Amino acid sequence: MALLEQTVGELLSEKAAQHPDQEAFVYPGLSIRKTYREFEEMTDEVAKGLMALGVEKGEHIAIWADNKPEWLLSQFASGKMGGVLVTVNTNYRTQELEYLLKQSDASTIILAEDFRGTSYMDILKEICPELETCEKGALESERLPFLKNVIVLSERSYKGCYNWQDLLDMGLTVSNEDLSERKETLHFRDVINMQYTSGTTGFPKGVMLSHHNIVNNGNQVADCMRLTNEDRLCIPVPFFHCFGCVLGTLAAVSKGATMVILEQFDPLEVLKAVTNESCTALHGVPTMFIAELNHEDFEKWKPTTLRTGIMAGSTCPMEVMKRVMDDMGAGEITIAYGQTESSPVITQTRADDPIDLRVTSVGRVHPHVEVKIIEPATGEELPPGVPGELCTRGYLVMAGYYKNEEATEAAVDPDGWLHTGDVAVCSTEGYIEITGRIKDMVIRGGENVYPREIEEFLYKHPDVLDVQIVGVPDEKFGEEVMAFLIPKANVTLAEEDIRAFCSGSISKHKIPKYICFVEEFPMTASGKIQKFRLRESALEILQTET
């Protein structure tokens, strides 16, 4: 099947014409239900509002909120009027927000009043004290010279800020013809979305993604899940991340499916939404599925309608995958692998793949995408079965990092190959297994130790809820293995229990020398476990003990 040549706005308009009375999105917590016809009309209104604000094609619109209806509408409205949506991590605080708004040259920010007890408005006012004295739409900030418009998702009135209703009212001054003319100027290869990488090393980089990147990636993802307009996809993953706004919203819209959306993740609310809304698909990172499966009310709200979905974002433990298939009924659930720079999905398991391949690999490469495994030091392509760095090429590769040519050239070589930094092995049948990040690999006494292998083994321990493996410095061997373990509820585990479990089952050099029991792992707002923070903790623990 050929690649789509549509803008984000054209995709929605096409589905609204095909399925006007189909439910487009449902917010169980807000009692909101809208059809595709209504979704189309609402996004037109928002697009006109942004035009009335003076936002031009290619201008940057930052959005800082959880999965609110306004976030969803802004995504597709900006896709209709050509503003580039800059997604802001909900965990950001003053320094991070200032950096993103300054580096992205955002002229407009749409933000929630607060999130989980943190006042977003207080943070913004700290960066832009001029808000207290300026007129709406006329902000002149010393620290953020590009920022002019602030739109607060609130019915309250804030000095110097518009609220959402102001935006809609302003849109009434823009005609349908004006909007149509703007749509005509858009091209499917235009950049429409910017997402900032997690920034685990150095400052976050703005990944520029086009309509072509994300519309096609969402469609390919949906195909692998066998999604149709009859499916109902529960989306509890954050929109600011590709998981939410490409694998979630765009994948659903590409087939005219219904989105059942949670503003924030809560395991019980997810189970209730899936049951009450008869969801056939569910997305989540492994930690989300673990929380759902181990919730005390799981049996009461045990899903009976699930068929598919995606588990992604970090390593997917085999035991968790099996339970999602067996206990949650998602027999066709898929694993997806990629990164923001690749829009994001590179490989995915298919709904009809054998179970063993769906729990031991991240599937095969998507159509219209190339993959190769190379020796990082030499760039030489490696044969099947030999681990190396995974590289990818095709429609999915980003347009580059915003205002960062040096980083772009380091990530994408002159032949168009994106270097992922992930260690992978490809089978002769084309199935890819990710064994870790190049920088996460532990080299103990000259032996390469892949954390994923030990993690998968320890997940089989009946009393282990979750596990992460990191390398720590060692004078004799260079590096040693350290395990961070979360025991299951009401269970007492000792270090000797873990070592006894390993003994005789995995090689001696892979058995963790250090074992630390914890209650939780440090995570990004999108649910990715921050191994670099675990390594920092490991060093602190070892220094304390010596």
Across 405-417, average pLDDT: 96
pLDDT of residue 546: 62
pLDDT of residue 134: 96
Count of helices and strands (H, E) across the chain: 18, 28
Residue 194 lies in a domain: yes
Strands 162-163 and 114-115, sheet pairing: unpaired
- Which range is least confidently modeled, 107-116, 273-282, 309-318, 360-369? 309-318
Across 356-375, average pLDDT: 93
pLDDT in tens, 449-495: 778 878 988 999 999 999 999 999 887 777 899 999 999 999 999 99
How would residue 318 be classed by pLDDT, with cut points 50, 70 and 90? confident
**Chain-centroid distance, C-alpha 277:** 23
- Which range is least confidently modeled, 63-67, 198-202, 346-350, 376-380? 198-202
How would residue 441 be classed by pLDDT, with cut points 50, 70 and 90? confident
Across 397-406, average pLDDT: 97
User: What one-character DSSP code corresponds to residue 83?
Assistant: P
- Both structure tokens of 440: 């996460």
Q: Does residue 100 carry a pLDDT above 60?
A: yes
With CA atoms as reference, report the closest residue to 222 among 355, 332, 87, 77.
Answer: 332
Across 324-334, average pLDDT: 96
Across 428-456, average pLDDT: 82
Higher pLDDT, 531 or 411: 411
Residue 434 lies in a domain: no
Across 288-316, average pLDDT: 93
Across 55-63, average pLDDT: 98
Residue 506 lies in a domain: yes
pLDDT of residue 201: 47
pLDDT of residue 35: 98
pLDDT in tens, 169-190: 999 999 999 999 999 999 999 9
Domain boundary among 206, 228, 246: 206
pLDDT of residue 202: 58
Q: Report d(CA 185, CA 192) in Å as an integer.
A: 13
Residue 144 lies in a domain: yes
pLDDT in tens, 389-398: 999 999 999 9
Domain boundary among 177, 206, 235: 206
Residue 375 lies in a domain: no
Q: How far is CA 72 from CA 12, 79, 298, in A?
A: 12, 11, 29
In the numeric block, the tokens 């418009």 are attached to 149
Residue 72 lies in a domain: yes
Domain boundary among 175, 191, 206: 206
pLDDT of residue 504: 84
Q: Does residue 306 carry a pLDDT above 60?
A: yes
Across 504-522, average pLDDT: 90
CB 146 within 8 A of CB 187: no
- Which range is least confidently modeled, 196-205, 245-254, 392-401? 196-205
Element (H, E) at 480: strand 478-487
Across 307-327, average pLDDT: 88
pLDDT of residue 425: 95
With CA atoms as reference, report the closest residue to 41 among 12, 1, 8.
Answer: 12
Q: Does residue 91 carry a pLDDT above 90?
A: no
Across 367-381, average pLDDT: 94
Q: Does residue 197 carry a pLDDT above 90?
A: no
**For position 493, which CATH number holds?**
3.30.300.30
CB 255 within 8 A of CB 87: no
Domain membership of residue 532 as a residue range:
442-545
pLDDT of residue 437: 76
Q: What is the 3-state secondary structure (H, E, C) of 483-517?
A: EEEEECCCCCCCHHHHHHHHCCCCCHHHCCCEEEE
Q: Does residue 67 carry a pLDDT above 60?
A: yes
Q: Does residue 412 carry a pLDDT above 80?
A: yes
Mean pLDDT score of the chain, rounded to an integer? 94
Across 259-274, average pLDDT: 98
How would residue 200 be classed by pLDDT, with cut points 50, 70 and 90? very low
Q: Report d(CA 301, CA 310) in Å as an integer.
A: 20
What's the structural domain count of the chain?
A: 2
The number of residues in the chain equals 546
Percent with pLDDT over 90 in the chain: 82
Residue 364 lies in a domain: no
Residue 21 phi, psi (nearest 5): -100, 0
**For position 63, which CATH number holds?**
3.40.50.980
Across 414-443, average pLDDT: 90
Residue 77 lies in a domain: yes
